[in-house]
A and B are shown apart, each in its own frame.
Chain A
Amino acid sequence: MKQTEGKIGIREYTAIIMLSVGTKLTDDTPTVLFNSAKNSAWISLILIALLSIVPIWFLVKVFSVHQDKNLHDLNVYLFGKVLGHIISVGMLAFGFSALVLDSAIYVDIISSMYFTKTPSIAIYVVLVIVCGYGAKRGLQHIGSTAWLTLFYLKITLLFALAFAFYKGNTKLIFPLWGPGYWEIVKTAGSKMSIFADFYYLGIIAPMIDSFKSFKKGAFVAFAVVVPEILLALMIYVMLFDFTSIEVISYPFHEMILYISIGFLTNVETFFLPFWLVAAFVRFAFYFYLVLILFGAIFKIKEYEYLVPVISILVIFLGVFPKSAAFTIPGLREWMLTILSPMFFLLPCFMWLIAKVRGDFKNETSAQKN
């Protein structure tokens, strides 16, 4: 009933987060964790989740007193004009490289696992056209699409995981502490940016119908996504063991290649479309974030016209690396490592500055509105 033009409700908002963070378990994010934390990657993930609550909580706290500002406005407001812009541009750079690198990985998955003979540029073009179209349509429509498809995507994912669990062996989880406590903690510290998406949510904060939805949606989505990835990480280990898990580049796809359901021996093509829908929604959202952040920083009102430019840029940069299979995952891991401390510290700083400036004194009155 409270639907207002251009704003999205809690359902759509939560669905977007669940899809854009949830699909991470299907790309090479698990491999990044497995590389250093081996079969105890899931313990690392629990640590990451616990650690991530801190910045997310601070972020929500800061937004509770600045409900009408988006992340860029807030950066400028809190850090001053110069530093705020630098931080926003830095965020844009990371957001854009995440879009490029992640989409390059998805294209690599599609072209190495499913369409081996199709040139990857063709796949890339289709992917970017769909996502660009979605981004141009706007947040509302991305949200609606996410919400409409969410249920079916999660159900099929659960199905795949359940069948894999049935095929796997629970004892392969042991030895519990894998490569040792220190390695686990180190992995958690350096790879905690896999939840950095939550930080970027600040960009769309004023577009959600109420602050309550923003807060509740973020935590609900977090509470769903963490167990989901956790389960997936454990099931991958149960299925492939700590030795194979390091050499497999995309465990989710290897998993759906291996499982069989009843009389259907090869079911990967059954799961493929569902995974693709999630991927399209995810990149449409990333695309949209980059667009709107770009628009906010450079004061461009009609950012829809940027879609073709960014599309071409993404394709060009994504296809550019000479051999995607080697360079892209390396770059991605590197980016995750750099982003981790930023993701942890920035919200803390924001909260601290807001506190010093005395923004929280008005908190009670702000929440009443």
Chain B
Amino acid sequence: MKHQLKKIKLLLALPFLIILTGCWDQTGLDDQVFVIGIGMDKAEEKGKINITYLIANPEVGSSTQASANNEEAMMTVTIQASDFISMRNNANSVIAREISYDLLRVILVSEELAKEEEFIRYLYTSEKDREIKRNVHLVVTKEKAEEFFKKNSPKFLSRPHKFYENMIGRAIQVGIVPNSELHQFFRITEEDANAFLAIYATSDIEKEKNKYRISENDAVAGNVKIKGETNNSQFLGAAVFLEGKMIGKMTGVENRIVMLLNDTSDVSDILTVVPDPFDEDYQLTVRITKRQNTEVVMDVNSKPPRIHATLPLTIDVLTDPSMSNPVEDKEKIEEVKKSFERFLEEKAMKVVTKTQEEFKVEPFGWSLYARKEFKTLREYMDFDWMKTYPDMKIDVDINLRFGKFGKQPKTPSYEGIRD
């Protein structure tokens, strides 16, 4: 009995152990600040970069109990450091608490730094840190990342993590930016066969009138004209990375085509305009959805290797500005279909030639299809997809099917109303 009592006393002493030991990995939430975004910019010194933190203020907008209403929702800090990890301590000279990457949502890189050879060295340090998750998005900004953080001030979503989450999530769904998780970046860079696409964004909107693009079709972030009191930053288009280095840009529309051709993307809601085959003054608004995966047939043995991609699409025609009522007439529908196919194929081919000629690397993920054609890794490596790609003969076929024609398929004829 007696030693049993001793055991109980020992047990009672256990909680005190916590007071003695309780540090190690234990960090109270109130002892941390949460970094939502990290910006990377070129620094003057070699081997160093300017790192900008976007830090959320947990006391704003999160709970009624927290009463710091006059504080800002976020703040930015820029410090020169050699990598993400050492930056954590460097920043403590101005930030009072431990820095946590738990809520990290985006890594922003200025276009200037992304085009450097050195860039990949800095980015790879993120793979070592366990708090930086592989589902963080990579965003390339036209200006310095530091500036972007400062200028970006969304009107409604004042809490930064919400803004980046929603902004990027929706933009990916719509297809105007690529899904640029770090995981994909590492995978594609290491595989060394494809191009990686990162989100392109800017808050540096063109001021001069002639720099605006006439059609939103050819726009990248920064040259769409938007009036009103909304946010002054734009997420549109993609930055093309080859072997961890940025080599070019794609417009939002080009990105959409890439996303449609690439099976790994999850673009799900594309609304766009197509010229009306019956009246060249007008354009039809259509919703494009992918029926199933792209069918890719390739012949790697022929010289030059050939790729034939068939893209099965369903198109809902949502407007009919020329009021020509194609629904009623089979021939008209055939005509519309043909013209759409021609139009889309042309567009797609344009993107393909651009990648072949300008980037000399493909972002469509076709190398994955090619893998099946080889028996061993060695054969595949010897083929050297990246080198061969620019010379390949590529066809893109659109296999089109009509879905709905809007809520009300028929429209009264224009002449009928106007007479």
Contacts and interface: CB of A to CB of B under 8 A. Distances in A.
25 contacts: A39-B377, A112-B130, A118-B24, A122-B21, A122-B24, A169-B264, A171-B368, A174-B372, A175-B371, A175-B374, A175-B375, A175-B379, A175-B380, A177-B376, A179-B377, A179-B378, A241-B187, A244-B187, A257-B130, A257-B133, A258-B183, A265-B133, A265-B135, A266-B102, A266-B133
B24 A117 contact: yes
In this complex, which of A112, A243, A265 has the most chain B Cβ atoms within 10 angstroms of its Cβ? A243
Contacts of A169: 263-264, 368
B377 A242 contact: yes
B97 interface: no
Interface in A253-268: 254, 257-258, 260, 265-266
B280 interface: no
A358 interface: no
A173 to B, nearest CB: 8
Interface of B: 21, 23-25, 102, 130, 133-135, 183, 186-187, 190-192, 263-264, 368-369, 371-372, 374-380
A176 interface: yes
A91 B214 CA distance: 78
Contact of A243 (B25, B102, B190, B379): B190
Contacts of A271: none
Nearest to A247: B190
A88 B191 CA distance: 47
B377 A38 contact: yes
A172 B190 CA distance: 13
A238 to B, nearest CB: 11
A174 B102 contact: no
Nearest to B182: A258
A171 B369 contact: yes
Given A243-B192, A258-B183, 19 more contacts: A113-B130, A116-B25, A117-B23, A117-B24, A122-B21, A122-B24, A169-B368, A171-B371, A171-B372, A175-B371, A175-B379, A175-B380, A176-B375, A177-B375, A179-B377, A241-B191, A243-B191, A254-B134, A257-B134
Contacts of B378: 179-180
A169 B368 CA distance: 9
Q: Which of A119, A169, A175, A177 has the most CB of B within 10 A?
A: A175
Nearest to B188: A241
Contacts of A176: 372, 375
B375 A258 contact: no
A266 B380 CA distance: 35
B43 to A, nearest CB: 28
Contacts of A175: 371-372, 374-377, 379-380
Contact of A178 (B133, B190, B372, B377): B377
Given A118-B25, A265-B135, A174 B190 contact: no
A179 B378 CA distance: 7
A82 B34 CA distance: 65
A244 B25 contact: no
Interface in A152-171: 169, 171
A172 to B, nearest CB: 7
A10 B135 CA distance: 43
Interface in A307-337: none
A337 B220 CA distance: 56
Interface residues of A, number: 31
Interface string A172-194: 10111111100000000000000
Contacts of A274: none
B187 A240 contact: yes
Contacts of B186: 244
A115 B102 contact: no
A323 to B, nearest CB: 15
Interface string A215-244: 000000000000000000000000011111
Contacts of B21: 122
Contacts of A115: 24-25
A171 B23 CA distance: 46
Nearest to A179: B377
A174 B130 contact: no
Contacts of A243: 187, 190-192
Nearest to B368: A171
Contact of A260 (B102, B135, B380): B135
A258 B134 contact: yes
A10 to B, nearest CB: 37
Contacts of B379: 175
Contacts of A118: 24-25
A213 B191 CA distance: 48
Interface in A17-64: 38-39
A49 B377 CA distance: 24
A122 B379 CA distance: 49
Contacts of A254: 134
- Ranked nearest first, the 10 interchain pairs of A and B with the lowest CB-CB distance are A243-B190, A174-B371, A171-B368, A118-B24, A175-B374, A258-B134, A174-B372, A117-B25, A115-B25, A177-B376
Interface in A113-169: 113, 115-119, 122, 169
Contacts of B25: 115-118
B372 A119 contact: no
Which of A115, A171, A179 has the most chain B CB atoms inside 10 A of its CB? A171
